[in-house]
Amino acid sequence: MTKDLSNQKAVVAGGTSGIGLATAKMLFRLTGDVTVTGRDQKKLDALRVSDPELKVAALDSNDKNELTNFFSSTGSFDHLVITLSGAKGGGLFQELSLDDLREGFEKKFWPYLQTIQTALPYLSKNGSITILTASSTTARLSGTAGLAAINGALEVMVPILAKDLKPIRVNAISPGVIDTPWWNFLNEADKRATFEQFSEQIAVGRVGTAEEIAHAIVGVVANNYINGSTIFCNGGLS
Ligand SMILES: NC(=O)c1ccc[n+]([C@@H]2O[C@H](COP(=O)([O-])OP(=O)(O)OC[C@H]3O[C@@H](n4cnc5c(N)ncnc54)[C@H](OP(=O)(O)O)[C@@H]3O)[C@@H](O)[C@H]2O)c1
């Protein structure tokens, strides 16, 4: 059931930071060929120095032409992992700006679908697609209705995509609260306070690490019999 990933090619869309970067490093150890994409040239340049084994590509997944050029130049590959983040759409509903929520969909929902559609002609039939959603879809925490909507829209598609795109496997990993640069809109003190508050609602008593989510992603990529599923990796967040 478990794939030998050696000599396979993986693309991590949104892989220059956080969960995507941790996944890219882990996948590289198994496959030997991983390309990460991102928009910020500084992050890409830094990665060329810190992680020279990874291939890097400047790419905005909201831009259909850039996606088309990227996948046609990369050619055939085996595993697509999408870890792009939107980081918009959180907040109490009565205060939530619907423009922010719309932007959240623009920055996460649509680029995920566009990335998958553009990649399909190049993706191996024995390959896999793994997307990142969020446990806001099930945790029912106040202030997360908008984030739950964006990620829920993706999660409900997963089992259907697994049928439409068969035999390519399609899965989602749904993280809880994870300490990554996603939270850098908060200053360090506010971030620590927020993590402490969340920790009270997480059974294991702490927020997660990017590496813990990367483990779940790599496990799904490597397991031939996980398909059409959303795997929650959230320390028991409820
Ligand atoms: N951290 C959490 O607590 C948490 C919880 C639940 C779910 N998640 C989900 O997990 C996924 C990964 O999040 P993370 O915490 O690792 O976030 P992150 O550290 O902010 O990383 C996001 C990555 O996506 C890239 N990116 C964003 N928009 C892009 C675009 N249009 N085109 C290309 N690259 C783009 C960013 O690079 P550039 O900015 O340079 O483009 C960066 O490499 C996201 O889908 C997030 O919603 C995270």
Site of tokens 């749904």: 174
What tokens appear for 108 in the block?
């996460």
Q: How many C-beta neighbours within 10 Å does residue 183 have?
A: 18
- Smallest CA-to-CA distance from 23 within 213, 208, 178 is with 213
Name every protein residue with a CB atom under 6 angstroms from any ligand 1 atom. 14-20, 37-40, 43, 59-62, 83-85, 111, 132, 134, 175, 177-178, 180-182
18-31 vs 210-222: helix crossing angle, rounded to 10: 40
pLDDT at residue number 87: 82
How many alpha carbons lie under 13 Å from residue 216 in its C-beta half-sphere?
24
User: What pLDDT does residue 92 have?
Assistant: 97
Residue ranges covered by each domain of the chain: 10-183+211-232
Residue of 182, 199, 217 best suited for mutating to test ligand 1, as the one with most atoms within 8 Å of CB: 182
- Residue 185 CA to residue 136 CA, distance in Å, equals 19
Task: Note the pLDDT tens digit of each residue in 148-190.
Answer: 999 999 999 999 999 999 999 999 999 999 999 999 999 999 9
CATH number of 10-183+211-232: 3.40.50.720
Crossing angle for the helix pair 64-74 and 110-119, nearest 10 degrees?
30
